[in-house]
């Protein structure tokens, strides 16, 4: 990868990160405004903040892969995304740990740290699924050998854990199919067949009908 491409990628990643972090900070203000707990931030609120952080990081990763792959698919490009995501997660954790302008109680700092460790592990797996797209190869075309269903589930789970959640009324499956399809297009410029997306969305709908808890990691059936 030449210097011009590297500089361009850095500019795009910096812009995407700054925009995402600004939006996340606004979301934190909204979460803190939802209850009058003084300086002490309760555990459920810490969990809400970490879920919002994972949603933000997941969206940033999709945006970064889409934007950077359009500039260069050299392995060094993947490394730049990896470094940007690590830095962004650290920034998110710092915002969460700052609480309401006063650092979280030590017990809540421990909770936040454990939650962020889990978020990092999931995001690392998600990012690794894109590694094969950043290789030196003469063959620039062709469909990827496997679809990143785990990454799609992370995105859907993040939406499910927002205040609005996923739609559950009649006709909601079509909306979930659209969410999955759009994620694949944004992440890699292509999407699985409609029939495959429909099967995965159906599994999510079954989960929504049986539980109001966050979607489990095995919601999608094995391919």
| Same domain, residue pair 8 and 107 | yes
| Same domain, residue pair 173 and 116 | no
pLDDT computed for residue 139 by the predictor: 46
Q: In a 10 Å sphere around its CB, with 0-12 CB exposed, 13-18 middle and 19+ buried, how is residue 152 labelled?
A: buried
Which of 15-19, 79-83, 159-163 has the weakest average pLDDT? 159-163
Which residue segment(s) compose the domain that 158 sits in? 149-210
The answer to whether position 8 is within a domain reads: yes
Q: Which of 84, 99, 133 is the last residue of a domain?
A: 133
Q: Structure pTM?
A: 0.60
Number of domains in the chain: 2
DSSP for 162-173, written as a single string = SSS----STTHH
For residues 201-205, average pLDDT: 83
DSSP conformation class of 218: T
pLDDT computed for residue 55 by the predictor: 93
The answer to whether position 217 is within a domain reads: no
| Same domain, residue pair 129 and 192 | no
pLDDT computed for residue 2 by the predictor: 59
The answer to whether position 163 is within a domain reads: yes
| Same domain, residue pair 77 and 8 | yes
Which pLDDT tens digit goes with each residue over 118-167?
Answer: 999 999 999 988 888 887 644 445 555 478 887 788 778 778 777 777 77
| Same domain, residue pair 124 and 154 | no
pLDDT computed for residue 18 by the predictor: 96
The answer to whether position 143 is within a domain reads: no
| Same domain, residue pair 126 and 170 | no
Residue 207 has pLDDT above 80, yes or no: no
Please check whether residue 169 is in contact with residue 178, taking contact to mean a CB–CB distance below 8 angstroms. no
Count the residues in the chain.
Answer: 223
| Same domain, residue pair 51 and 117 | yes
| Same domain, residue pair 31 and 97 | yes
| Same domain, residue pair 127 and 22 | yes
């Amino acid at each position: 990868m030449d210097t011009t491409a590297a500089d361009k990628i850095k500019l795009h990643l910096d812009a995407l990160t700054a925009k995402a972090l600004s939006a996340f900070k606004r979301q934190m203000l909204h979460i803190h405004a939802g209850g009058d707990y003084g300086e002490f931030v309760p555990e459920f609120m810490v969990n809400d903040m970490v879920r919002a952080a994972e949603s933000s990081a997941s969206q940033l990763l999709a945006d970064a892969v889409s934007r950077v792959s359009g500039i260069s698919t050299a392995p060094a490009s993947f490394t730049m995304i990896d470094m940007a995501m690590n830095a962004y997660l650290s920034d998110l954790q710092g915002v969460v740990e700052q609480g309401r302008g006063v650092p979280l109680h030590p017990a809540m700092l421990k909770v936040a740290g454990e939650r962020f460790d889990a978020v990092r592990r999931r995001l690392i797996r998600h990012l690794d699924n894109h590694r094969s797209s950043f290789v030196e190869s003469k063959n620039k075309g062709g469909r990827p050998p496997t679809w990143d269903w785990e990454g799609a589930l992370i995105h859907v789970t993040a939406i499910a854990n927002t205040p609005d959640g996923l739609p559950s009324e009649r006709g909601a499956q079509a909306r979930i199919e659209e969410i999955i399809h759009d994620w694949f297009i944004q992440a890699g410029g292509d999407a699985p067949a409609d029939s495959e997306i429909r099967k995965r969305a159906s599994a999510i709908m079954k989960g929504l009908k049986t539980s109001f808890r966050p979607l489990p990691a095995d919601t999608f059936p094995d391919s």
